[in-house]
Structure formats: C-alpha cells, structure tokens
Amino acid sequence: MSTSTSTAPWRRAVVTGGAGFLGSHLCERLLDLGVEVVCVDNFASGAEANIAHLDDRAGFRLVRHDVSAPEWLNALGDGPYGLVLHFACPASPADYLRLPLETLDVGSAGTRNALALAHRDGARLLLASTSEVYGDPLVHPQREDYWGNVNPVGPRSVYDESKRFAEALVTAHAGAKGTDAGIVRLFNTYGPRMRAHDGRAVPTFVCQALAGEPLTVAGDGSQTRSLCYVDDTVEGILLVAASRSVRPVNIGGTDEVTVREIAERVIELTGSRSRLTFVERPVDDPARRRPDTTLVRELFGWEPHVPWPEGIKRTIAHFETPTVAGARRTS
C-alpha cells in the first residue's frame, strides 16, 4: 500500500503522543488519507498549538490523558481501531532529562497499554523507537541487526533503555499473543512544529541564528547526524504501518553531515551574523550516526526525497512565521 494515494487500510486510528512534533504530523497525514484519528496526549512535552488547526476537522478527536495510566483506554470510547501508533514519549534531551521517571513509564506501562488496545481490537500497532537504541555505535552505518553500545546507567539511559525495553515488549507481545506489531527506529527527524528550545540541534541553531545569538556547537562539532525531513519520515512510518513487518526498521536520512556543517548552513540560510561557539559535549553523545536503510528501501521502496538543506529552509520559514516568532522571542 502506498500512502501517497487518497485511501488507507484503516478506518480509525489512535496516535499516542499525537500533540508532539512528529505525532501531530502523523495525525494530519492520517486525516488527509480519510482516517478518523484519536489523538492521546498529556501535554508533558506536546503542545496544543501543534494540533489547533485539526480541531475543526471531521474525524479528529483529542483525549487528554497519560498513556502510562490504564484509564486512558476507557477514555477512548468504543472501538474498534485499526491502527495504534505509539509515539508518546519525551524525545528531546531537555524533556527526558526533566522527566526521567515519566520517560521510563511511557516506554514500559505506556507500551503495555498500547499493546493491550491493539490486541483487543485486532489492530496493527507500530512503536516509535529511535536510533538511540544503538547508543554511541561501534558499527557504521547502523543496521537493524546491530545490538548497540548503550550505557544503561548514563544520563541518556532513561530514554535509550525506555525504547529498548519497549522494543522487547512489542516483540514479546507479538510472539506470545500474536499481536500485529512492528517497530520503526527513527533517526534525527526535523521540521516545522519542533519546539524552539527543546535541546535538539536544528531548532536550537535556527532560533539562535534568527536571534543573532552565537550557535552553541557541542564539542568540536565533528560528530555526525543523518537528518530526515518530517514529511519523509511520516511517509516511511505509514508504509511500515501498512505492512505486517515485525522486525525493527530504520527510517532516516542518508546524507551524513557534521553538527558543525548543520550550524554553518543554518547561518548561511538565515543570513545571520551569528558565529559559532563551542560548548562541552554531552556524556554519551554519539560520535557518528547514519542508518543503513537497505531494509526499508528493499521491503517498502522508501527513501527520503527532501535534501537536508531544503528541509532546513522550510524549518527556518516555520520559525519565521509571526505566531512562532512571537512565541520564540517570549519563551
């Protein structure tokens, strides 16, 4: 099934974390495909502004709840649902370091609850995992069969281990109960609706450049990332969701660039007079990150289409809009 068509194989879907950056784009895309969407979010890191434009759309409903608490299943109302996208989780360092126990809860109890819903309704569940399950990788590029190099007690462990446990839980549930469940490992997705100061490189650099402030590059900036524009990521997610694949699937950009290159390009595209300043590199920050996307390309024909400089332009344009610019200046 190609999600570029006007139809989808599901009539109703639940998106946990649907008011987050990526979740809101998924809600919007599903509605465009004619799917009724229930967005579940407790707004620990999501924002009402991300879904405000969906409030009046037919088939959209917001349930304000914590998916780690089983009561949220009752708040959904009668099913059945055909698709459960489990995307609830603080995803930026600023958020998961602020909410360490909540991050672990959503990966464990939250994932169990999402699986219970999918199993009850015979729905397809897709877990949003992350490139962070590979830790600071010793294998490059990272293939899905690489087990990773993760510090289980480091400052990033609340996020890394939450996702690793969630993957194990999804795999066990599929094996023990036959639940139709899959996993996508997402690499460095960026684009409109990211929060200005969430600690991730692209929104941080863009907001600093637009404000004329120094761009804070961690370490010497030689560490690499593989950026993937949000529209491409959403397309890949829905292709895997429409399949019966159980194995983890990497989704990410194929152009590997250094953090310094990203910062320098942001300065160029904004026309800013900002300069780079170098700050201490976070503990366990991955030195190199690039997904091996052979599997998703061969199984689903997916590949990213938006070059990262073009995606950066679109992201800058978002932060320059009057509403976002005003909020950025007062935050």
Catalytic residue set: 159
Rounded alpha-carbon distances, angstroms, from residue 283 to 154, 156, 287: 8, 8, 11
Beta bridge partners of 63: 40
Closest CA to 309 of 273, 255, 271, 272: 255
Cα dist. 20→45, 198, 203 in Å? 7, 12, 15
- Cα gap 2→310, rounded to integer Å: 24
CA distance 196 to 269: 17
Tokens of 238: 């829905």
Q: What's the Cα-to-Cα distance from 57 to each of 16, 38, 182, 236, rounded to whole Å? A: 18, 12, 29, 24
Name the residue type at position 102.
E
CA distances from 299 to 247, 249, 293, 296 (A): 12, 10, 10, 5
